[in-house]
Amino acid sequence: MKYRILGSSALRVSEVALGTMTFGERWGWGAALDESRLMLDLFVDRGGNFVDTASNYTDGESEEQLGELLVGRRDRIVLATKYTLTSRPDDPNAGGNHRKNLVQTVEQSLRRLRTDRIDLLWMHMWDGITPIDDVVRAMDDLVAAGKVLAIGISDTPAWVVSRASAITELRGWARPSAIQLPYSLSSRDAERELLPMATSLGMAVLMWGILDGGVLTGKYIDKAGGPRRYGEHSPDERHARLAALVRETAAACDAAPAQVCIAWVLAQRKRANLVPILGARTAAQLADNLAALDLALPPVVLASLDDASAIKLGFPSSFLADDEVVHLIFGTTRDLIAD
């Protein structure tokens, strides 16, 4: 296990994070406490120190399990949790980005996690209502109080994150150290705005959905190679084609399909400071996923996966990269200018 710097916080975090949405059984699936202990022990034994949860995961059971499992080793773990999602669906103030929900959720999380501070607090997702300057001001108050050490923004448009970063830098408040978003071979939308923004602003990027709910591993492909319907994870033609390529690549590399998907994401660090979130329901699954850290995909394989999964960046990225537009801006001097 190697380590990366979590943006402006300067926290040293393991190159992959342990996602704990599967810790707990209140949603009708997931891991009981003993299995969660095996997963956490395995992750820590491999050198992992970055654990990601949320106030609503398995209706709070994820935080409760972590509170018990981290007794005696809390200080070695960079512990992240999230606020935003509602805890009482019939209460309009029990969810959202506003200060009341923030304070209530953080106090609840601290009790469940059996800790006096949260190392990284995420705004879980943008509610579209609360002014972002109010959000980061309230989060800065928690940093000043010592209840939160660093802040991050998850599942939010790039313009909102950029505004938050500019406001906090201008006013001397705690700056967002990281963003969190979905990213995988089948979901590369973040390359349009979010990844370039994170690199420019010095933010780390945590990614979820690396296996696209199992679709990319071929889990929902039948023996004849066609899609097998299974609720929201039913693959379309593009997903089925990518899943087939992942399986072919895995066979050629003597690896598991999940390892190929994770290794591809790890190879994208030329784009941004990426930290994949690995989630599993069993210690065996987690061990299989962690093996991706030792898988180096050959350049020709990476190129094949890149080409098959490529997206159109669209305006303004494609427009500004067009040769004619570059010539209009720089004339014949662009190649002579170092950047």
> Is 191 within the bounds of a domain?
yes
Q: Which residues span the domain enclosing 298?
A: 3-304
In tens, the pLDDT along 71-111 reads 999 999 999 999 999 999 999 999 999 999 999 999 999 99
| Beta strands at 3-5 and 78-83: parallel, antiparallel or unpaired | unpaired
**pLDDT in the model for residue 226:** 54
Residue 336 lies in a domain: no
Q: Residue 225: inside a domain, yes or no?
A: yes
Question: What confidence score (pLDDT) does residue 36 get?
Answer: 98
Q: Each residue of 36-64: pLDDT tens digit?
A: 999 999 999 999 999 999 999 999 999 99
Report the mean per-residue pLDDT for the chain.
95
Number of domains into which the chain is organized: 1
In a domain, 327, yes or no: no
Of residues 67 and 227, which shows the higher confidence score? 67
Residue 334 within any structural domain of the chain: no
Q: Are 202 and 177 in contact (CB under 8 A)?
A: no
- Is residue 112 included in any domain, yes or no? yes
**pLDDT tens digits, one per residue of 123-148:** 999 999 999 999 999 999 999 999 99
What token pair was written down for 248?
A: 């072919």
| 283 domain residue, yes or no | yes
Residues with catalytic function: 57
Tell me whether residue 289 is in a domain: yes
How far is Cα 20 from Cα 205, in angstroms, rounded to an integer? 18
State yes or no: cis peptide before 316, omega within 30 of 0.
yes
CA geometry: angle 293, 211, 76, nearest 5 deg: 45
How far apart are the C-alpha atoms of 73 and 115, rounded to whole Å? Answer: 11
Between CA 34 and CA 68 the distance in angstroms is 11
Enter the pTM of the model: 0.94
- Per-residue pLDDT band at 339 (split at 50, 70, 90): confident
CATH code assigned at 122 = 3.20.20.100
DSSP class of residue 227 equals: B
